[in-house]
Amino acid sequence: MMSNLDTSRKGVAVGPLLAKNAMLVMLVSLSICIFVYASRAAVGNLYVLSLKDEIEAVATLNSKGEIPSIVDARQLTASVMSWDGHTPSTLAYVASFTRWFEHLLSQSHVYQQNSLSIDVPMMLDEAIEARPTMSNQYLLRAMELWLEGESKEVIAHQYQLAQHFGPFDKDVALASLEFYLAYWPSLTKQEKVLASRYLLSPRDYRLNYWQIGAVIKRSQNQKRACNLLRFNNVHIRECKV
């Protein structure tokens, strides 16, 4: 979680914070998924391919404890936007890359907020306005609201939109489960039913139990999820006593 976010500035009760490792995993997943749409929408766009390479390069540097290049990332995002910045898939891809890159950078001593000079919320608004039926855009917006410390109800609305447009999408299911487990005590009956479906019927969403287990392991409400699984005779490694 970025330390310089003022999570209380909106005057609402701040719920569970999005953990750093959870955010990283979710953003990597969304970046890869949205990249598929972006590359199809921009056939021959070498800049989009270069941005994908940058993700892999930055991840490698981060694993070695080295500092990624802000200049290179800024130039690449600018090139992508100038070449193909009007398609909603590209807007969403650059937004997810920007937030992911800044998250990694926040773990180094050179971090400055908005290092890539990109307005992520505005970019997501443009993408949604251009193509309001792409579910991953709502997941990214939900994550932004979560990071900003918005109320559970405001964040949940974005997940509901993502579920509406991608009811059986695996990224939607995993991101929604992450959110539901974080806010489990305050979920509505309908939200608990859907969370239970994700936990008990992952194959309906093209998921495996190791993916469900990874989400459970990161959750502060791991015990609640494990109790539900055990009650239904589902046993996974993350829930072993």
Q: If you search the block for the tokens 């009007």, which residue do you land on? A: 86
Q: Other CB atoms closer than 10 Å to residue 213's CB: what's the count? A: 19
Distance CA 135, CA 166 (A): 6
Distance CA 102, CA 113 (A): 8
Distance CA 63, CA 57 (A): 10
pTM reported for the whole predicted model: 0.77
R_g of the chain computed on alpha carbons: 18
pLDDT of residue 33: 58
Q: Determine the distance from the C-alpha atom of residue 190 to the mean position of all C-alpha atoms in its chain, rounded to a whole number.
A: 22
pLDDT of residue 88: 83
pLDDT of residue 240: 87
pLDDT of residue 157: 98
Q: State the distance between the two ends of the chain, measured CA to CA, in whole angstroms.
A: 29
Token pair belonging to 24: 């990283």
Q: What is the DSSP code (8-state) at residue 109?
A: T
pLDDT one-digit tens code per residue, 160-169: 999 999 999 9
Instruction: Please choose, from the candidates 145, 94, 80, 158, the residue with its C-alpha nearest in 3D space to the C-alpha of residue 123.
Output: 94
Contact indicator for 79, 61 with CB cutoff of 8 Å: no
pLDDT of residue 210: 94
Question: Which residues of the chain register pLDDT less than 50?
Answer: 1-13, 42-44
Say which CATH class 17-166 falls into.
Answer: mainly alpha
pLDDT of residue 81: 72
